């Protein structure tokens, strides 16, 4: 795969404990890479450094083979989509989208064509005469994405763009983003603290913690083979087992249980909780930790509180220590 952007030893510190240090990261052509982590881990710092909104202390940012770390934001071939939309309320959708094109002195006919093309791509055709206040949150975010895309950025930067939306609209916008990325052949860096969102939209995920990248890889690799306890606990549900002085992890869906006679069992059911298309069952050894198990709802009638069960595990993994 061809590298679109390469970050080498990027450092941006706000204090001894805040910021990022010696970040090395590649983003490939037509890839959506997500920076995922809790608040304050440094993901937005990296994104804003790429966009030119933070002047870095040291390191290089190479985009399309050219160093850009010294360029101001308006001179970088990047487009930014913010959480708060940042649409001008006194301008129509068309005027919002035309603003950057006017600065580039794009001809009126070409401007009209490009704006209509982008509005169609984000399913907002016919909204060009409306004002932002006449649009829903999801529609405004579509316009914000279209406004960034109409400038044909080499790299699209998205800073938690869906976090202000309600859950249903957020899910729809994830699907829209993947469709737009595929149709436009976009390369994008996406920032979120929502692990479900990261799993849904990403080609690769960089999991961040306290200014460092803990693990980077495809969503399935991050989910199935977390490299340390932080990644294992941050991505999805996980059971942690102490075995022979080592920490072993197993996903709830990889714990298999079946009813048995009391004398055969080490475990008993302590809770049964329906969660829609599956049921969460908590099982426990006497005076030991509780294990979370996901079972098919069709089988959930086999399990009641105090039911003795046998447990077996698949895809267990021994963890390395976190930083």
> What does the pLDDT look like over 280-320, one tens digit per residue?
999 998 878 899 999 998 888 889 999 999 999 998 888 87
Q: Are 90 and 38 in contact (CB under 8 A)?
A: no
Query: In which band, very low, low, confident or very high, does the pLDDT at 156 lie, cut at 50, 70 and 90?
Result: very high
What predicted TM-score, i.e. pTM, was given to this entire model?
0.89
Query: In which band, very low, low, confident or very high, does the pLDDT at 271 lie, cut at 50, 70 and 90?
Result: very high
Pairing of strands 155-159, 278-284: unpaired
Identify the pLDDT of residue 59: 97
Average pLDDT over residues 59-74: 96
Whether the pLDDT of residue 199 is over 80: the answer is yes
Identify the pLDDT of residue 252: 96
Average pLDDT over residues 54-82: 95
Q: In what order do the strands lie in the sheet with 78-81?
A: 78-81, 155-159, 188-192, 32-36, 204-209, 212-217
Show the tokens assigned to 307: 């039911």
Identify the pLDDT of residue 268: 94
Identify the pLDDT of residue 97: 94
End-to-end CA distance of the chain: 30
Dihedral of alpha carbons 215, 218, 221, 223, sign: positive
Q: Are 122 and 139 in contact (CB under 8 A)?
A: no
Average pLDDT over residues 225-254: 90
Contacts of 40 (CB under 8 A, 6+ apart): 18
Residue that has been written with the tokens 């298309």 in this structure = 277
Count Cβ atoms below 10 Å from residue 257 Cβ, excluding itself: 21
What whole-number distance in Å separates Cα of residue 88 and Cα of residue 291?
51
Show the tokens assigned to 295: 């079972």
What domains are defined for the chain? 3-230 (3.40.50.300), 240-318 (2.40.50.140)
Identify the pLDDT of residue 266: 86
Count Cβ atoms below 10 Å from residue 60 Cβ, excluding itself: 14
Contacts of 263 (CB under 8 A, 6+ apart): none
């Amino acid at each position: 795969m061809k590298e679109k952007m390469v970050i080498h030893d990027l450092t941006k510190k706000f204090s001894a404990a805040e910021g990022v240090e010696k970040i090395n990261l590649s983003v490939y052509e037509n890839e959506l890479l997500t920076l995922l982590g809790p608040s304050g881990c440094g993901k937005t710092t990296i994104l804003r450094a790429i966009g030119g909104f933070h002047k870095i202390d040291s390191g290089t940012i190479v985009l399309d083979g050219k160093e850009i770390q010294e360029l101001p934001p308006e001179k970088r071939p990047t487009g930014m989509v913010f959480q708060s939309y940042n649409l001008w309320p006194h301008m129509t959708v068309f005027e919002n989208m035309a603003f950057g094109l006017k600065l580039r002195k794009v001809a009126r006919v070409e401007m009209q064509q490009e704006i209509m093309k982008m509005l169609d791509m984000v399913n907002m055709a016919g909204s060009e005469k409306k004002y932002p206040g006449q649009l829903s949150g999801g529609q405004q975010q579509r316009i914000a994405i279209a406004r960034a895309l109409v400038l044909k950025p080499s790299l699209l930067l998205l800073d938690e763009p869906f976090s202000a939306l309600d859950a249903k609209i957020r899910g729809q916008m994830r699907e829209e983003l993947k469709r737009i990325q595929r149709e436009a052949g976009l390369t994008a860096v996406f920032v979120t603290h929502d692990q479900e969102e990261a799993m849904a939209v990403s080609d690769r995920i960089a999991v961040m913690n306290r200014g460092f990248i803990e693990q980077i890889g495809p969503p399935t690799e991050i989910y199935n083979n977390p490299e340390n306890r932080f990644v294992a606990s941050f991505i999805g549900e996980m059971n942690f087992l102490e075995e022979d002085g080592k920490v072993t992890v197993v996903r709830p869906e990889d714990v298999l249980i079946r009813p048995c006679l009391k004398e055969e069992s080490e475990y008993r059911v302590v809770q049964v909780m329906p969660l829609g298309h599956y049921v969460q069952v908590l099982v426990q050894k006497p005076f030991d930790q509780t294990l979370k198990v996901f079972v098919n709802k069709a089988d959930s009638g086999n399990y009641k509180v105090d039911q003795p069960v046998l447990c077996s595990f698949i895809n267990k993994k021994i963890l390395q220590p976190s930083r």
